Amino acid sequence: MTSEPKKKAEDITVSASDEQQEQPPGKLHKLFDRNFLDYTSYVIRERAIPDIDDGLKPVQRRILQTLYNMDDGRFHKVANVVGETMKLHPHGDQSIFAALVNLANKNYLIDRQGNFGNIYTGDQASAARYIECRLTPMARETLFNKDITAFIHSYDGRMQEPVSLPSKLPLLLLLGAEGIAVGMATKIMPHNFRELLQCQIKYLEKKDFTLYPDFPKGGIVDASAYDHGNGRLRCRAKIDITDEKTITITELPYTLTTQALMDSVEKAAKAGKLKISSINDYTAEKVEVEIKLSRGIYAEETIDALYAFTDCELSVSPNLVVIRENMPCIVSVEEVLRHNTDKLKQDLETELRIEKDRLLEKLHARKLEQIFIEERLYKQIEEQTSYKAVTATVREALIPFTDELIRKATKADIERLLEIRIKKISRYDLNKQQKEIRALERGIAVIEKHLKDIVLFTKKYLEGILNKYGEAFPRQSELKSFDEVNARAAALSNIQVAYHQESGFLGHKVKAENIKKDSEFACSELDRILLIFKNGMYKVINVPDKLFVGSDVIWIGVVDNGLVFNLIYRAGAVNLSYVKRFKMPKFILNREYRLFEEHKRSTIQLLRTGEKDIRARISLVPSSRARYNSLEIEMDDYLIKGVAAKGKRVSSRVVRRVTDLTGKPKKNEPVLATLPGVERGTESL
């Protein structure tokens, strides 16, 4: 009875799997693939990545076009601007408002009235109904021209929006941009207005140029690793020393606010990396963050710690991704500027040709009118009885004057002549008409001259913009190369590490009772501790809370690459002593190394740090034949070699005792370089 149901279940399973294999590939996967690609393409091109031609994202382009449509010279409520922009932008008012505030705070294209927030403190703008804006004169002059702008239908088909604004400024590099799309992101640095236009002029003159970022918050920028719009930048706050106990931060790194800066300083202070008594933010139109230092701490000692442990120094990784010909690509700043300059030259040439055609049409109309009135051609139509006959008569009358006209007269030209009123004919001023014609001819001649040398015209245009607006935009950031701050050197030595030789414990939580003064030293949490044992083994560890290391440790100190070790040891295999000098060896944390070959009788007889004036007395095992039983050596006589070197033999006789004649350790030597019973002399075993 039980086998039959099992058999049916197996049959069902097999039939179901067979049916599944027979089904065609699911349409759902294709739908997902197609829709996801459409979404990806839309986000990249229509939301996150700016276009190389005008340097704008779609929302920014729609805001500027709306402001141009609304422009009457007066301020408009931002709420009204946002509402009008929604006719072009299908993604809601919050994204429009945020983009408008961001554009306005860059101070190039939008004039502000009201509280638009504070880029230094990170304070938000007031509600859209309370603040106002309008286009700046520079934006009106350089961004718009209907004659050379291509328009498309908006998302609902009710309005027209520009495909790209005919910007005469390199907005992409001027404003900078950040955006995250599907599978890619862009991070374009802002640059200085004057430097951009000067580099455009250099490009037109076929000279080399180099561009570096300029940030609105100022600061110090190290662009040594900046790779033409990509690579890496290091940005620092500008720090002034008001007095020996007060530090004032007056400029900020890119993207940082005073609130974020203060949070990072307070976090470092709580972690013990800084010692401050207070920090206050007095920022208004300019950055002013004041730091008061604790007792015993001075400003010059604290600046490196601020750069090492707080956001006073930040690293920025630019990524210059743009849309070019409807495709995302990575380019360089020089390539972008060359593209924008070539486009400017092309747009100016197009504008000149359009203006020339407009002036030619005006000149043609003026000459037609002059001939029609001066030659009294209107008299010939008095006896005509039909409109067709009138137009034919005027056309025939103009034939003898064809060479004087700009082009052949058309039906529209004849209709305009027939619309001239008698009042205008009777009051016709020949001198005034001649003056207007000469002015039009001069204008056409000037345009033709510019068209012959469009490069020179473009250069003069840029110089005009530079002279008109350049003074308002000086460089904010200081370009300067600076070295990496050594965090270990900048860290406060606020941890007291002790070694209790009897118990064998080491750490900053080891109680200081019954611990000798030369077994205790100060270090920071970033330091590394070097341990050297009597049998020649050594290792490097992090600063421990409490760690058992044994009682055979004869040297403990902070790792310092400048240390020089002077070592005398007994090689147990031959029972002879050797001397060698070496610098701080390379290491991997918590890994054991040896100063000499391991042997049960091998031991250190003297270990002292220092580069000069290290002396020792060597006491030898007495011999009846020997002329002397002791000798003195100067460590300076021995070369500094690697830690793996065997060293030089002290004597062919057995060394009984080694006595240090140098005296007390100097201040710059590790405190624990002279543990009892080691450097004062050790009896041979």
Task: State the catalytic residues.
Answer: 130
The 10 Å Cβ neighbour count of residue 567 is 22
Calpha distance 44→48 (Å, rounded): 6
Cα dihedral 173→177→180→181 (10° resolution): -60
d(CA 92, CA 421) in angstroms, rounded, equals 55
Cα 248 versus chain centre, distance: 24
Tokens of 86: 């929604």
Cα gap 175→165, rounded to integer Å: 15
> Reduced to 3 states, what is the DSSP secondary structure of residue 331?
coil
**Distance between CA atoms of 477 and 238, rounded to whole angstroms?**
10
Do residues 221 and 477 make contact, with C-beta atoms less than 8 angstroms apart? yes
- Rounded CA-CA distance 536/574 in Å is 16
Q: Residues with Cβ < 8 Å from 309, sequence gap 6 or more?
A: 268, 271, 273, 274, 487, 490, 491
User: Under 8 Å CB-to-CB from 28, ≥6 apart: which residues?
Assistant: none
DSSP 8-class letter at 183: S
Determine the Cα–Cα distance for residues 543 and 161; give it in Å rounded to an integer.
65
Q: Which helix (H) or strand (E) holds 531?
A: strand 528-533
For residue 188, what are its two tokens?
């374009």
Helix (H) or strand (E) holding 490: helix 487-490
Give CA–CA dist 37/59, Å, rounded. 22
DSSP E strand stretches across 88-188: 110-113, 132-135, 151-153, 160-162, 177-180, 185-188
Cβ atoms within 10 Å, residue 668: 10
559 in Cβ contact with 584 (< 8 Å)? yes
CA distance 506 to 516: 13
The gap from C-alpha 443 to its chain's centroid, in whole angstroms, comes to 47
Rounded (10°) CA dihedral 591, 596, 600, 605: -110
Q: What does residue 453 show for φ and ψ, rounded to 5 degrees?
A: -135, 75
Residue 544 CA to residue 510 CA, distance in Å, equals 10
Distances (CA, A) of 12 to 4, 5, 21, 272, 546: 12, 10, 14, 70, 67
CA distance 359 to 439: 10
Query: Under a CB-based contact definition with an 8 Å cutoff, are residues 634 and 615 in contact?
Result: yes
| Burial environment of residue 2 by CB neighbours within 10 A (0 to 12, 13 to 18, 19 or more) | exposed
Paired tokens of 270? 């709580």
Burial of 512 (0-12, 13-18, 19+ CB in 10 A): exposed
Place of tokens 């638009």: 116
Rounded Cα distance, 353 and 598, in Å:
91
